[in-house]
């Protein structure tokens, strides 16, 4: 796995290797329309890698059918996923890994290249080991068959 923050490119370099839709989602934090992604209802055995830099992110064994319209995983590979750290003032008492202002989600990105993957939701009651749902854009990931 690539070291955290190890893949750095200019916007021009990213545009040269990503499709326009991949650039919009991975680099500009966009979202694909629900139920349109290639991997929403895809459950083959293998590994999902970052579509930007190729870093392994998720094992297929952690993917589950959440019905949300995007691929859902209950955990990423160790060290592969960053959660957005919210800026804190000197006197703030807020959790730096707190959800977006809507209070429901926290952004997740590839730890190696910073590409936007989607959001993680906690406490929704899914019967998974972590009670988390990593809601990931299909455009942000690439599936590789096998173990």
90-107 tens-digit pLDDT? 444 444 454 555 556 799
Task: Determine contact, residues 50/57, Cβ cutoff 8 Å.
Answer: yes
Q: What is the pLDDT of residue 146?
A: 85
Cα separation of 141 and 123, whole Å? 24
Tell me which residues are annotated as active site: 135
Joined together, the tokens standing for residue 141 give 């990931």
Helix or strand or coil: residue 133?
strand
Q: What is the pLDDT of residue 143?
A: 98
pLDDT in tens, 62-101: 999 999 999 999 999 999 999 985 544 444 444 445 455 5
What is the residue-averaged pLDDT of the chain?
88
Regarding pTM above 0.95, the answer is no
The closest alpha carbon to 135, from 32, 10, 53, belongs to 32
Out of 19-23, 45-49, 94-98, 107-111, which region has the weakest mean confidence (pLDDT)? Answer: 94-98
Cα separation of 114 and 4, whole Å? 9
Residue with tokens 């995983």: 73
pLDDT exceeds cutoff 90 at 28: yes
30 CB neighbour count, 10 Å cutoff? 15
Domains observed in the chain:
32-88+95-145 (2.170.150.20)
pLDDT exceeds cutoff 70 at 56: yes
Cα separation of 21 and 26, whole Å? 8
The DSSP 8-state label assigned to residue 45 in this structure reads S
Model confidence at 3, pLDDT cuts 50, 70, 90, reads low
């Amino acid at each position: 796995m690539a070291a955290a923050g190890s893949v750095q490119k200019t916007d021009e370099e990213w545009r040269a290797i990503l499709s326009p839709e991949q650039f919009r989602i991975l680099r500009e934090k966009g979202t694909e329309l629900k139920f349109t992604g290639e991997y929403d209802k895809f459950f083959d055995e293998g590994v999902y890698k970052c579509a930007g830099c190729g870093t392994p992110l998720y094992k297929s064994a952690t993917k589950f059918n959440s019905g949300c319209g995007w691929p859902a995983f209950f955990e990423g590979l160790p060290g592969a996923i960053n959660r957005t750290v919210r800026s804190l003032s000197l006197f703030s008492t807020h959790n730096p890994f707190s959800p977006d202002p809507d209070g429901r989600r926290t952004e997740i990105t590839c730890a190696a290249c910073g590409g936007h993957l989607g959001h993680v939701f906690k406490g929704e009651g899914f019967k998974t080991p972590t009670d988390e749902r990593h809601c990931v854009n299909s455009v942000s990931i690439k599936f590789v068959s096998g173990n």
